[in-house]
Structure 1
Amino acid sequence: MKITAATVGAPCWVQLATVDPDAAKAFYTELFGWRVEEDPRPEAGGYCTLLLGQAPAAGLTPVQQPEQPTAWSVSFATKDADAAAAKVVAAGGRVLMEPSEVFDLGRFAVVADPAGAVFSLWQARAFDGQAVADEPGSLGWVELTTRAVHQSKEFYPRVFGWSVTVGEMYTQWGIAGRDFGGMADMADQFPDDTPPYWMPYFAVADVDRTAERAAALGASVLLPPTEVPDGPRLAVLKDQQGAVFGIHIAQAPA
């Protein structure tokens, strides 16, 4: 699916901060067929756009502080990053990086929900974000993993106006009549010191083959290819530097 403009409140960009950009470029270009385009401006700090064909699909940047972990992050589109950051605070969250200009591309802020799950806000100007979704090699889903399930059901709709669909095993987030993500309960499945986090899932043509290829390239398979009841076949992987992400079978167009 081609995207010509971001939907306000929906995920619009994912980016990887990594301790080894060169290794990450080699891994992800081989896994997803991405092409790397580095911003040549010195003040960009080595930021790269990862392209699927000609379409921006994700970003990649070196970590900015020594203590920063290698991880994927998710950005949500907003008309006004400052107003959205204020909503985050009013709903009990925190602003970790105040809204600031990114060249002429847009306005960006880093925030956290009340339980500590970190995400970003993007107010587009020259750059809307991803230009493709739900196709092999592009973002297909985002997922919050947290222990604060009930609190999150109140926080995110208050900030973004999301719909909440609660099933027996899983909660889904939606906006404008379309579900784009979900929420998993950490429960007792994670060590007590594991913080809540947002994670992207990328669509692929074949989950089993992609998981095998990722393992051959040095990734760890945290969740082997699995059929989800009433959902797609999926797997969860961790790259060599420690960034966790998911893959799921690309859905046929309706």
Structure 2
Amino acid sequence: MTAVKVRVAHGSPCWVSLMVHDLERAKAFYGPLLGWDFTPGPTELGCYVRATLGGAKVAGIGVTPREPALPVEWTTYFAVDSADAVSQRVRECGGTVAVGPLQSEGAGRLAVAADLSGAFFGLWEGQDHLGWEVVGEPGAPVWNELVTNDEPLAAAFYGSVLGRTVVEAEPSAVARGEEDATLQVEGHPVAGIKQTTDLRDGPPRWRVYFAVEDVDLAVRQCLRLGGALLVEPYDTPYGRVARLADPEGGRFSVVRLP
């Protein structure tokens, strides 16, 4: 597998990061499950490693402070031309900037924000580190989806903040299990927005999907490694999917692409 280092277009997901309490436990879970190795990353926010797949960077895992107690969740980062300008736009649109903008050594400039429903997301102005270097391969990120109880509000917020088009799906497509709306960059869907009242989805958040070769096998391996099965494997228009949680409760999905 060859690492591809390219600047991701403004408004597109470019990185996913997980903050945990026990870094070694997280590495022992995600490493075997997704085939990851780990290399040191920037340390401004504490201990942090980058997950690699065949030498290509795919995700980050860091250590969250125990006080205040924060939930263990994956965060989707969007590539932006200016973290400072987009952070200001988040505030103007009614969102909250929780962290930053701040410089992460020479890697880039980042901020962590929350939308109107409280779903957290990140902004990344890449410099030396542009983002993930492989996607869509087994073990790599393949899709990011906002789960929300107010899809129209979310669509208006992200469209305005990122300056990109959000396209609403036809009712027949939604009935087939497709996204209620997609964030698009230059006519291509880059992230989804799904309206839900399913209590299993928890509060509004960005859901991260990782590609795997066999969803059912990944579920069994997840359980052996101390994780949990949240939703049994099921078939969707995008492929077979299961929703899982790591040993600290961090939720994510795996998908076998059609």
| TM-score (norm: length of structure 2) | 0.90
Q: Per-residue displacement from partner, 1:139-189 (whole Å, max 9, x unpaired)?
A: 0000111112110111111112133232432323222222222122232x2
Counterpart of 1:174 in structure 2: which amino acid? Q
SS state of the match for residue 106, structure 2?
Answer: coil
- Deviates further, 80-89 or 161-170: 161-170
- Indicate if the aligned counterparts of 1:3 and 1:133 stay in contact, CA closer than 8 A: no
C-alpha displacement of 1:44: 5.8
Counterpart of 1:70 in structure 2: which amino acid? V
SS state of the match for residue 4, structure 1?
Answer: coil
* Structure 2: runs of 5+ lacking an equivalent: none
Change (3 A) 1:87 1:44: closer
Query: 2:146 maps to which residue?
Result: 144
Change (3 A) 1:167 1:209: farther
Query: 1:233 maps to which residue?
Result: 240
C-alpha displacement of 1:204: 1.0
Counterpart of 1:57 in structure 2: which amino acid? V
Displaced runs of 4+ in structure 1, greater than 3 A?
Answer: 41-44
- Indicate if the aligned counterparts of 2:155 and 2:166 stay in contact, CA closer than 8 A: no
* Structure 1: runs of 5+ lacking an equivalent: none
Alignment of 1:67-146 (within 5 A): 67-146=69-148
Aligned-pair identity (%):
33
- Deviates further, 50-59 or 205-214: 205-214
Counterpart of 2:246 in structure 1: which amino acid? D
C-alpha displacement of 1:92: 1.8
Counterpart of 1:103 in structure 2: which amino acid? E
Query: 2:36 maps to which residue?
Result: 34
What is the rounded CA distance, in whole Å, between the counterparts of 1:156 and 1:43 in structure 2? 28
- Indicate if the aligned counterparts of 1:9 and 1:162 stay in contact, CA closer than 8 A: no
SS state of the match for residue 184, structure 1?
Answer: strand
Counterpart of 2:187 in structure 1: which amino acid? G
How many residues were matched structurally? 247
C-alpha displacement of 1:65: 4.4
- Indicate if the aligned counterparts of 1:135 and 1:250 stay in contact, CA closer than 8 A: no
- Indicate if the aligned counterparts of 1:145 and 1:198 stay in contact, CA closer than 8 A: yes
Query: 1:190 maps to which residue?
Result: 199
Q: Per-residue displacement from partner, 1:71-117 (whole Å, max 9, x unpaired)?
A: 11110000000110111112221111230111011111111111111
What is the rounded CA distance, in whole Å, between the counterparts of 1:80 and 1:203 in structure 2? 30
What is the rounded CA distance, in whole Å, between the counterparts of 2:43 and 2:255 in structure 1? 36
Change (3 A) 1:21 1:155: same
Query: 1:162 maps to which residue?
Result: 165
- Indicate if the aligned counterparts of 1:140 and 1:250 stay in contact, CA closer than 8 A: no
C-alpha displacement of 1:5: 2.1
Q: Per-residue displacement from partner, 1:195-239 (whole Å, max 9, x unpaired)?
A: 3111210011111111121122121111111101x3211111011
RMSD: 1.9
* Equivalent residue for 1:213, pick from 211, 218, 221: 221
Change (3 A) 1:191 1:209: closer
What is the rounded CA distance, in whole Å, between the counterparts of 1:108 and 1:176 in structure 2? 24
Query: 2:190 maps to which residue?
Result: 180
What is the rounded CA distance, in whole Å, between the counterparts of 1:44 and 1:94 in structure 2? 19
Query: 1:24 maps to which residue?
Result: 26
What is the rounded CA distance, in whole Å, between the counterparts of 1:23 and 1:223 in structure 2? 23
Counterpart of 1:8 in structure 2: which amino acid? H
C-alpha displacement of 1:43: 4.7
